[in-house]
A and B are shown apart, each in its own frame.
Chain A
Amino acid sequence: MGEPDSIILEWVHQARSGNQDAFAELVYSFQDAVYNLCYRMLGERTEAEDATQEAFLRAYLHLNRYDTERSFKTWILSIASNHCIDRLRKRRVKWLSLDEPLPAGAALALSSDEPSPEEATLFAERGTQIQRLLHELAPDYRAAVILRYWYDYSYVEIAETLETTESAIKSRLFRARQMMAEKMRAGSSVDDVVNPLLQGS
């Protein structure tokens, strides 16, 4: 895990002493990372937005608990993933389906440059397929997969973010990938989406 950036630490110190502008800098720096995690976890833009706001508010209120030896990004992602896991568990308690379809255009806000209409359609379809696969997973498994693939975290980093052991993470990733691969085999439409994209990229 990389050394904490000195400017990030400076913002943290200032935010701890009540400087809201410094905290705003932290928000600007990590809003995309936190939002992407929340969106991938929850699969719904409005809820992801709310979860992102909540994660930053919690971070501000608990800024004194942040260990400056650790990466701030890992810490804020840890808060966000735990919050999303809680939300998903509550959602399950409310008997709501995790398979609810994504709102139209939900997968179109990509970080790449403006795509052509065809590319946009393919990206949107791929985005929907990815969300469907993720939604097959239990919240803990989903968080591990997201941190592995979207943040390129190692087993150790994922374990630190999710506050568990390296072996637990290996096991979660193992099972999650098995389940998603099975799901891909079962859904033939996935190939129609994946293959043209892989060939074209």
Chain B
Amino acid sequence: MPESANRSRFRDLDFGLIGFYLVCAAVLTFIMLPVFVVFFYSFFGSAVGGLGSPTLEFYEGAISNNLDAIILSIQIAVITVIVDIIIGVPAAYTLVRYDFPFKRLAMELTILPMAIPGIVIGVAIVRSWGAPRFGIDIGGTVEIIIIGHILFTIPFVIQVTMATLESVNYRRLEESARSLGAGWLRTFLYVIVPNIYNGIIAGAIMAFALSLGEFNISFFVYTPQNTTLPIALFGGFRTATVGEASALASIFILLIVGLLLIVQLISDEGVKLGGNV
């Protein structure tokens, strides 16, 4: 009907709707503006503060001067994520699956590091592990940075894993597997883990990105020999050229965006594991 078609086209031009689009566009601009500015300066920045001609030299400088920091940050993030998964996934399963005294309290404790400011964790880590304790002396080492990062990121892995467990109705899966003759370990490895694999990977990538960008805790425990990428970036903005610091920031953003794309891909595609005829 032409009349109703006209009416619906008229509704599309509704001023309220246009208002919503405008708000949405403003928010997106607000989010993206700093990113664009950093990208812009990474190509056009100049040593004296004005604008230069487009160049890739800042990227060369950023990479060659900070290669150690980039590699160290990636190494720390990888180890952090591996430890997060090895202890976080069984912890999440235990918290969701079993009843025990103070279960609620235990669940809330796992969120605590998310809620406590990183700077507070940083101070606490230095107080706890900065000096030798129980015969363990890790002050000023990479290990202490990793401990801080695990503390900061593991709540995310635990939270995502718990949510995924609930969403796949793990209890029915587990009961089916056990009725079919699988003990708890085979049930966990062949059925539970593969069915929550997407959640684990999503949590892991989130933890990886958080570790890569972690500044507050690292700032308290790093040494000049153990400088991570965010610390280098902080130093860069104070000492290096605008262009080089912007290039380093851009590399950072690209790393994170790449990781987010992988998360997206995994949640869209799904992954199949554990099957065997």
* Real binding pair: no
Which residues in A have some Cβ–Cβ distance to B below 8 Å?
none
Which residues in B have some Cβ–Cβ distance to A below 8 Å?
none
